[in-house]
């Protein structure tokens, strides 16, 4: 089905150019507002749409249609393909379970690596046969084909080397191994990264090419061309910067080297904030949960000055965004990532955010 007219396609290209410019700290008239309308009139639970591709597509398509109709500017149509956040773990044989709450995501039943020998005995999984990966690839292809390539699709929620290692080993053994057998933890991180890159390449094929995906990971946020690399490092909320540089960064680097230095996810808090951008190749942005990262904004003001972008998943409250601006301007750009429902005053909320974002842009120290 065609969702986007030629004139709307030109408009979306203009919006993308705004994002490209902001990632390079080039002057714009307003900071983009990543507002998305989300609706679930069918009352599907999280478990239902994880297990049923048709229901997930129905939800994502409804969001695209409503967002195109109701959000005045900045929205770039995209869909998140989601089979859960333990994709690599499932491909390695971890049993996937749901809890009693039908609106919770799935997880692994228990760690599956209990010794150094277990790590060295791991075999490369088959993305077309093992775990949740085949279903994820099928959905990526389906979502892309049904929207005739007009809507960007996410890749799968694969985490990153340390996130997956933590889940496979369990918390206590993960940290003990970093002291007692660091070489084994490095081997595991490298193996997981091999899996990530293989699966991301298959996701890109299923979508018809890298320019059809938002990034190499789960976010529905469109990342500029050549900067599609994305991975998650939520567990680094527990790390020292030294631990991050030793055990996270080398493996994140491989993902960014393969797909372009793009964006890193951590919900927060952010003890490693000063290290985030300085990957090889360097990255340009991080996506964070505002609730868990808002106390770190002064650190980001220093660490990201004129260099990095914050995407903040935050409530639909322009006063909170004004607070962000007052802390970060004129040095660091923060882009609000906001979900709203169709029964809210979507246009009014957007315009309230726009008022802040225009003032924000006027106060920024741009590179030109």
Identify the pLDDT of residue 33: 98
User: What residues in the chain have per-residue pLDDT under 70?
Assistant: none
CA–CA gap between residue 35 and residue 72 (Å, rounded): 9
Tokens of 342: 């169709």
Identify the pLDDT of residue 9: 95
Helix (H, G, I), strand (E, B) or coil at 84: coil
Q: H-helix or E-strand containing 310? A: strand 309-313
Q: What are phi and psi of 133, to 5 degrees?
A: -65, -50
Of the candidates 270, 269, 219, the one whose C-alpha atom is nearest the C-alpha of residue 85 is 219
Identify the pLDDT of residue 71: 98
Residue with tokens 């923060």: 334
Residues 6+ apart with CB under 8 A from 230: 215, 216, 217, 218, 219, 223, 255, 259, 262, 263, 264, 265
- Per-domain residue ranges for the chain? 6-363
Identify the pLDDT of residue 2: 82
What's this model's pTM, rounded to 2 decimal places?
0.97
Identify the pLDDT of residue 314: 98
Cβ density class 15-30: b for 16+ within 10 Å, e for less: ebebbbbbbebeebeb
CA–CA gap between residue 159 and residue 172 (Å, rounded): 19
Q: Which ranges constitute the DSSP H helices of the chain?
A: 6-23, 46-51, 53-70, 87-91, 116-120, 133-146, 161-169, 171-180, 182-207, 241-243, 249-259, 290-293, 297-303, 318-328, 346-363
- Give me the numbers of helices (H) and strands (E) for the chain, helices first please: 15, 10
Tokens of 189: 């991180």
Q: Which CATH architecture has domain 6-363?
A: Alpha-Beta Barrel (3.20)
Distance from chain centroid for Cα 337 = 11
């Amino acid at each position: 089905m065609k969702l986007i007219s030629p004139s709307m396609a030109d408009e979306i290209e203009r919006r993308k150019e705004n994002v490209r410019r902001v990632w390079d700290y080039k002057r714009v008239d307003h900071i983009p507002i990543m507002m998305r309308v989300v609706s679930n009139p069918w009352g599907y639970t999280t478990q239902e749409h994880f297990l049923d591709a048709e229901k997930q597509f129905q939800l994502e398509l409804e969001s695209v249609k409503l967002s195109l109709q109701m959000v005045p500017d900045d929205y770039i149509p995209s869909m998140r393909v989601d089979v859960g956040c333990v994709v690599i773990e499932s491909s390695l044989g971890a049993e996937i379970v749901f809890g009693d709450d039908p609106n919770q995501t799935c997880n692994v039943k228990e760690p599956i690596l209990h010794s150094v020998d277990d790590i060295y005995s791991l075999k490369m999984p088959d993305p077309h046969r093992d775990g949740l990966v085949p279903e994820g690839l099928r959905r990526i292809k389906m979502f892309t084909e049904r929207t005739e390539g007009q809507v960007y699709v996410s890749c799968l929620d694969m985490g990153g080397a340390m996130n997956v290692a933590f889940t496979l080993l369990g918390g206590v053994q993960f940290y003990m191994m970093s002291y007692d057998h660091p070489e084994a933890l490095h081997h595991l991180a490298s193996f997981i990264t091999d899996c990530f890159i293989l699966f991301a390449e298959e996701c890109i094929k299923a979508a018809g090419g890298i320019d059809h995906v938002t990034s190499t990971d789960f976010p529905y946020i469109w990342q500029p061309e050549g900067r599609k690399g994305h991975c998650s490092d939520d567990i680094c909320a527990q790390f020292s910067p030294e631990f991050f540089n030793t055990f996270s960064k080398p493996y994140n680097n491989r993902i960014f080297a393969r797909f372009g230095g793009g964006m890193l996810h951590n919900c927060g808090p952010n003890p490693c904030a000063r290290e985030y951008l300085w990957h090889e190749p360097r990255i340009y942005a991080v996506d964070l949960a505002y609730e868990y990262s808002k106390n770190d904004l002064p650190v980001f003001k220093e660490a990201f000055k004129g260099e990095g972008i914050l995407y903040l998943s935050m409530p639909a409250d322009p006063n909170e965004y004004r607070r962000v601006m007052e802390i970060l301007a004129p040095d660091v750009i923060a882009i609000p990532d906001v979900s709203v429902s169709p029964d809210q005053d979507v246009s009014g909320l957007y315009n309230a955010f726009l008022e802040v974002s225009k003032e924000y842009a006027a106060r920024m120290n741009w590179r030109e």
